[in-house]
Structure 1
Amino acid sequence: MADIADFANDLVQEQLDQAVAARLALMPDSVLPSRMFCDECDEPIPEGRRLAQPGCTLCVGCKVTEDLRASRYAR
């Protein structure tokens, strides 16, 4: 017999599935391969980042800096 916790878990799982599907729908169909070295600082981009973020061109540090700069000037 299902209880309220089971219903809550089902609801959370459904919301997670919808969020993942929405995220995947936003990704372009053709993704360029990730760069081996950062475009900004020429440091190697770790394999984990290249696999997690296909098409990345910046290392984590440079991407954080770029995002902070973009958020500062966004209005």
Structure 2
Amino acid sequence: MATGWAGDGAVQDQIDATISDAIKRARSQLPQGPGLTRCEECDAAIPEARRKALPGVRLCITCQEAHDQEQSGQSGYNRRGSKDSQLR
């Protein structure tokens, strides 16, 4: 029977779903495969310490920061529990 009220734990379920989605997105963006010695965008040398810390790295620090800035503008918003999502 639909009462219009959220069930017990609905808020926590929404929080858990948001965190789970963020973790999946972050894991999908991790570099994979062999790393590069030179940045694929600007051809700058990638330091050995960075290649050891991040296996599969493909960008230098400067280019990675620029890439991260672009990605932060596209951050996800969990609309699963939003009433607005039901109106659109």
* TM-score normalised by L of structure 1: 0.55
The number of aligned residues is 47
Runs of at least 4 residues off by over 2 Å: none
2:38 is matched with which residue? 37
Residues in 1 aligned to 2:44 and 2:33: alpha-carbon distance in whole angstroms: 19
Please tell me the root mean square deviation across aligned C-alpha atoms, in Å. Answer: 1.9
Residues in 2 aligned to 1:72 and 1:39: alpha-carbon distance in whole angstroms: 22
Larger radius of gyration: 2
1:52 is matched with which residue? 53
Offset, 1:33: 1.6
1:4 is matched with which residue? none
Q: Give structure 1 stretches of 5+ with no counterpart.
A: 1-25
Residues in 2 aligned to 1:34 and 1:50: alpha-carbon distance in whole angstroms: 7
* TM-score normalised by L of structure 2: 0.48
Offset, 1:32: 1.5
AA in 2 matched with 1:45: I
